[in-house]
Amino acid sequence: MSTSSSASAALAPAGGLRRPVTDWLFAVLTLALGAWGFAAYGSAMDGYEKAILAAAVPSVIAMGWFWRPLRLLLVLVGLATWGAMTLYQQHTDAHGADLAYADQVFWLKYFLSSQSAILWMSVLFFMSTAFYWIGLAARSATATKLGSRLTWAGIFMALVGTLVRWFESHQIAPDIGHIPVSNLYEVFVLFAWLTAAYWLYYEDRFARMGRDLGSLGAFVMLVVSAAVGFLLWYALERGAHEIQPLVPALQSWWMKLHVPANFIGYGTFALAAMVAFAYLVKHQAAETRWWKLAPLWLVGVVLCFEPVVFRAKPGSEQWLSSFWAVYFGIAALIVAAIVAARRRIAAQLPSFEVLDDVMYKAIAVGFAFFTIATILGAFWAAEAWGGYWSWDPKETWALIVWLNYAAWLHMRLMKGLRGTFSAWWALAGLLVTSFAFLGVNMFLSGLHSYGTL
């Protein structure tokens, strides 16, 4: 059997009932946790939430069977979340669990409360990025593998933090509980772990086909760390980590579907952009004329820090907060190091063909989910505002993002778009997407103004 045939066989999931015992044990455990969720909290759910939970159980089983590394992650997340909820319920108040009790319990205070778990996520993603770059610089497979393991750990803490935050919101008051995808703080957590998870998926799948992507993780995790940097600033300086009631427009079950689908698109578009950045670094590895590298410098700086909030708190005399000044300085140093060491970095990056393939697959997945999210958003708009489309700034920029990637995919599939032009286009796409995600909230007003900074 050829190598490619062997790789294909390894990737093909077992069919029918002929599955390993571990697959069926995972399915039984998932069903048990789902049944427990219905029994314990079904009375607090509306019909839509019950339907989502019912659909989530077979979906989780299917994901665990399709990509087996997810099984252990999902089981551990479920057990950790159950443990946190059990600890919270040891003390109750008039509405439910006493959230202030978390400060008196070691595991809640330092690990399992939503805020503690999300802070651990942030630290682990920063550490993961550092080890990926150590692996790239030192040509150390051990450091790269450690970076991958730390990414898994960061996703674990992110999921625990998200689920526990969902539980915590229901304990504040009956009308406050909601799935934590309703504000910029919560969706940045979602963006960070979704992007990291998609990277691990590609890393694993390509490795099974004998095409190592390990060194590419150094680039992909930069955008995750950038998102985490924004998240920490938003929590520390704006207090965004506090759980708030939903505004009326967000009190819809469409939100539970639209937002996750949207951020799968955002995450995969960001991943594709960082792969494109790596492609351009590799392409210009032998370039010695500094002015030829200037565009790479500028784009690199934009990618390494959020192109938003170059200011302090509203009303402050400072134009640039100390947080963003330090962040900008670190970003500039990172980009300078990448440009200076581009030959050494390029030597360890995958081939242009592999980079192009990852870029294409990421954009294709993102486009599919972004299309679904846009359709769901139209239904949500019809319910909330009485019309499917109103040319609100957010809607208009979502359409621009969709058209941008539709054109990229059309040119690739119909005209064979490849090479540096394709990479530059994918990289520019991240700037368009970032403005649709954040810039509209900052500079424009409209029906989506509840997402302002």
* Token pair for 241: 């980590």
Q: How far apart are CA 413 and CA 196, in angstroms?
A: 27
Of the candidates 225, 262, 11, 254, the residue with the CA atom closest to the CA atom of residue 125: 225
Using the predicted structure, report yes or no on whether residue 288 has a pLDDT greater than 80.
no
Q: What is the pLDDT of residue 236?
A: 81
Using the predicted structure, report yes or no on whether residue 114 has a pLDDT greater than 90.
yes
Determine contact, residues 195/220, Cβ cutoff 8 Å: yes
Q: Look at 95-104, 318-327, 340-349, 400-409 and tell me which has the smallest mean pLDDT.
A: 318-327
Of the candidates 189, 186, 187, the residue with the CA atom closest to the CA atom of residue 242: 186
Which pLDDT band, with edges at 50, 70 and 90, does 295 fall under?
low
As a 3-state breakdown, the chain gives helix, strand, coil percent values, each rounded to 5, of: 80, 0, 20
Q: State mean pLDDT over 91-118.
A: 85
Q: What is the pLDDT of residues 32-76, one digit of tens each?
A: 888 988 887 777 777 777 887 888 899 999 999 999 899 999 989
Of the candidates 125, 172, 167, 134, the residue with the CA atom closest to the CA atom of residue 348: 134
Q: What is the pLDDT of residues 318-373, one digit of tens each?
A: 666 677 777 777 887 888 888 888 889 999 999 999 999 999 999 999 999 999 99
Which pLDDT band, with edges at 50, 70 and 90, does 439 fall under?
confident
Using the 8-state DSSP alphabet, how is residue 92 labeled? Answer: B
**Top-confidence range, 185-199, 203-217, 243-257:** 185-199
* Token pair for 27: 């399915």
Question: In this structure, how many other beta carbons lie within 10 angstroms of the beta carbon of residue 127?
Answer: 18
Q: What is the pLDDT of residue 179?
A: 84
Q: What is the pLDDT of residue 95?
A: 67
CA angle 327–330–333, rounded 5-degree value: 150
Q: State mean pLDDT over 117-135.
A: 96
Of the candidates 77, 104, 284, 94, the residue with the CA atom closest to the CA atom of residue 166: 77
3-state secondary structure 278-316: HHHHHHCCCCCCHHHHHHHHHHHHHHHCCCCCCCCCCCC
Which pLDDT band, with edges at 50, 70 and 90, does 186 fall under?
very high
Percent of the chain with pLDDT over 90: 43
Using the predicted structure, report yes or no on whether residue 275 has a pLDDT greater than 70.
yes
Average pLDDT, the chain: 84
Q: What is the pLDDT of residues 218-263, one digit of tens each?
A: 999 999 998 998 898 888 877 788 888 887 777 777 888 888 999 9
Q: What is the pLDDT of residue 235?
A: 85
